Amino acid sequence: MTPATPERPFRLSDFDFHLPPELIAQTPAPERSASRMLDGRGPVMDRIFKDLPELLQTGDLLVFNDTQVVPARLFGEKPSGGQLELLVERVLPALPDASHQVVAHMKVSKKPAVGTVLRMFNRNGSATAFDATLLGRWPTVDGPLFRFALSGEPLALMRAHGHVPLPPYIERDKHQMNPEDVARYQTVFAKHPGAAAAPTAALHFDEALLAQLNARGVQRASVTLHVGAGTFSPVKSENLSEHRMHSEWYSIPATTLQAIADCQARGGRVVAVGTTTVRTLESWARSGLTEGDTDIFITPGFVFQVVDLLITNFHLPKSSLMMLVAAFTGFEPMHAMYAHAIAQGYRFFSYGDSMLLQRSAT
């Protein structure tokens, strides 16, 4: 791969690579912390995720995303009988004029008109469970998502009738509830419901590993970023400056800000678990806002202000997440690590293996 220069900035094609389909993980590892981990902090080393405690130091701070994945995939039909699928991206605040409203992706052969009442099915698809009225596009009149008013409280309806929103590269019957996915496409510390996708780097942690990290003197803190389905969307513009990121809501508690300040004061390292945690912390560092929406797009040349180490999975070709990794660890080292992972048969994407990375000095 040719590195960028001022005369030739990075392009979308710089982040493409061939991935053998058999390396796309279809199921999680039998044990969360038994997945493989590529240690990329120096010369590349092949490890197991449960090695993590010996790679961190007393006084380091692990920052997790404690969002909870909701059963955001819903099925229904138009008045004409045409089938449709909704993937709820976010639940809107319950304002007096916006109670029970959600924003969702809509998959349907022909878009219904604004005002159409859709019949949404129960989990086994045998009866109408609730209604969803199409109110228009979001966040603008030509926005990519759609706003709906549901006939009941959204989170309760999703818990009762929704399906696990697995990414498209995991092959499942979308209409069936797989108990393994219900349990494993969720972190062990998920707390705040609202995500349409899991913060997948955190899926490798189990209670035993967390106890070992605690005994090691590694501190823990949390942020919340409700991961949207847009995290799986590839960048489409060859000119990266033309790409616009999807927006996601985040929140950072005061206790986490204090934990970061204390970590930095004692010379510890801030270890972000997942790209969503990176985006949250670096959004705060840039804006000073501890809560709100972020559409930060991190590409090579980005100056990181908070995160020292990153734990992340292997990402889709041409994805914004791969660009974030290249920005963090360096473009050429990133490609070298991906090539090593493919040669060694690492498992890729949400249910796959992980990397431990150190921020590049340049």
| Domain that includes residue 110, residue range | 73-161
Q: Does position 276 have pLDDT exceeding 70, yes or no?
A: yes
Backbone angles phi, psi at 87, to 5 degrees: -125, 105
- Asked whether residue 29 is assigned to any structural domain, the reply reads yes
The CATH number of residue 41's host domain is 3.40.1780.10
Q: Does position 86 have pLDDT exceeding 60, yes or no?
A: yes
Number of compact structural domains in the chain: 2
Task: Compute the 3-state secondary structure of the chain and give helix, strand, coil in percent, each to the nearest 5.
Answer: 30, 30, 45
The verdict on 264 and 328 lying in the same domain is yes
The verdict on 247 and 119 lying in the same domain is no
Backbone angles phi, psi at 108, to 5 degrees: -155, 150
Question: Which of these, 275, 270, 267, lies nearest to 256 by C-alpha position?
Answer: 270
CB atoms within 10 A of CB 119: 16
The verdict on 335 and 312 lying in the same domain is yes
Q: What is the pLDDT of residues 155-196, one digit of tens each?
A: 999 999 999 999 999 999 988 889 999 999 999 999 999 999
CB atoms within 10 A of CB 115: 9
332 neighbors 3 (Cβ within 8 angstroms)? yes
Per-residue pLDDT at 93: 87
Backbone angles phi, psi at 288, to 5 degrees: 80, 0
The verdict on 93 and 236 lying in the same domain is no
- Asked whether residue 5 is assigned to any structural domain, the reply reads no
Per-residue pLDDT at 8: 67
Task: Give the residue ranges of DSSP H helices in 128-178.
Answer: 154-161
Reduced to 3 states (helix: H, G, I; strand: E, B; else coil), residue 207 is helix
Reduced to 3 states (helix: H, G, I; strand: E, B; else coil), residue 157 is helix
Per-residue pLDDT at 175: 85
What is the pTM assigned to this prediction?
Answer: 0.94
The encoded tokens of residue 146 equal: 């759609």
DSSP state letters, 263-297: HHHTT--EEEESHHHHHHHHHHHHH--SEEEE---
